[in-house]
Amino acid sequence: MVDDILRTPGAVRDAERWTAHNYHPLPVVISSAEGAWLTDVDGRRYLDCLAGYSALNFGHRHPQLIAAAHAQLDRLTLTSRAFIHDQFADFCRELAELCGKDLVLPMNTGAEAVETGIKVARKWGYQVKGVAAGQANIVVAEGNFHGRTTTIVSFSTDEDARADFGPYTPGFTVVPYGDLDALAAAIDENTVAVLLEPIQGEQGVVVPPEGYLPGVRQVCTDRNVLFIADEIQSGLGRTGTTFACDHEGVVPDMYLLGKALGGGIVPVSAVAANADVLGVLKPGQHGSTFGGNPLACAVAIEVVRLLATGEFQRRSAELGERLRAGLEGLIGRGLVAVRVRGLWAGLDIDPTLMSGREACERLAERGVLAKDTHGSTIRLAPPLVITEEEIDLAVAQLATVLTY
């Protein structure tokens, strides 16, 4: 086929013409999808190894989720929180039970869940811990990624994310990720929370040293500081357990959830915590027009039920071992390091060979979609419905791409 009868080049040009360039997508124009597979406007098929940055943990158009969405679309889609709707309590109860927490506060995007966590921690600090007015601080980690709002980018250490968006929100202290002594030293009487990703996704699936998360838990307990785990990307089955914190038996004071909670259909995020923490919010102090809407709740209830079976966590753990074995076989053959937890992998490509972007472009040409991050690193996060054969296919294509 020649370019002028393909639809992709024109569709790429149109997209570039009419949107702000805040992304640099691969030149692939998707028109349909099912399970782990995508089809583009020219009928080419791709194995999805990004899964919407883990928003598609259950694959594209999972039948149970699509059925829930269809049924809800036919009944009720939006009420606002001015009224209660019939999906709301079930969603909050079932998610709270999955998290082992008393209460849930639903929002929409991940960044909103993070903002909610920050607000709740500050209010808890003033009202429960007794921090002096206006003095609350939160300890965060270098290399963090928690979203794109002005407050959240204020404590990013990525200059692309942060530069020229000031003035910055004060009240955050950045410490090296994985360094427990540095974290403990940064806590003072005004510290209300430690906010961490249990695995840093955007940074390249960086797993902290063993013992770090339990250590953070202990320090937070000892110093009367809330431990907020941002499980927006790492949670809900991605790493082989319901939450990445589960790998080390750690229970944070607050879970921040998003992405997969919406089943790849609607944006749904949430904060889950006990009543002594989330209970500090009173009417009028926080909210969202769309947060906890009936369509979101109907889909997210089914997401929680899928997770409650444990099947997806099991798949992720088992298939993750196959992915790990395949990727480790490429160390010295184009890869210099791999980090794998469940079906989530960060791969460092030998930078003398090619950039992560180039590797992803070549993979796309061979029918596998993945995403680069930070120079020569790429990230794999396939839907948890991926099969053994499809994992082998992705690894084989990667091996080819790295050696030509």
Question: Residue numbers of the site for ligand PLP (CB under 6 A)?
Answer: 53, 109-111, 114, 145-147, 197, 201-202, 230, 232-233, 258
Choice between 204 and 334, CB closer to ligand PLP: 204
- Beta carbon of residue 170, minimum distance to ligand PLP (angstroms, whole number): 21
Catalytic residues: 145, 230, 259
C-beta of 315 vs 371, nearer to ligand PLP: 371
Minimal distance, residue 231 CB to ligand PLP, in Å: 8
Q: Residue 403: which H helix or E strand, with range?
A: none
CB of 359 to ligand PLP, least distance (A): 20
Nearer to ligand PLP, 171 or 201 (CB): 201
CB of 331: closest distance to ligand PLP in angstroms? Answer: 26
Decide: 330 and 321 in contact? Cβ < 8 Å: no
Q: Is 343 exposed, middle or buried (0-12, 13-18, 19+ CB in 10 A)?
A: buried
Distance CA 290, CA 88 (A): 12
Minimum CB distance to ligand PLP smaller for 137 or for 203? 203
What would the DSSP string read from start to end of 248-313?
Answer: GT---SEEEE-GGGGTTTS--EEEEE-HHHHTT--TTSS--SSTT-HHHHHHHHHHHHHHHT-HHH
Residue partners of 217: CB distance under 8 A and separation at least 6: 227, 250, 251, 252
CA 386, 301, 295 angle in degrees (round to 5)?
A: 100
Q: Which CB, 111 or 272, lies closer to ligand PLP? A: 111
Q: In a 10 Å sphere around its CB, with 0-12 CB exposed, 13-18 middle and 19+ buried, how is residue 21 labelled?
A: exposed
Where b means 16+ CB within 10 Å and e means fewer, 131-159 reads beeeebbbbbbbbbbbbebebbbbbbbee
Closest approach of ligand PLP to the CB of residue 8, in Å: 26
Tokens at 394, concatenated: 């992705």
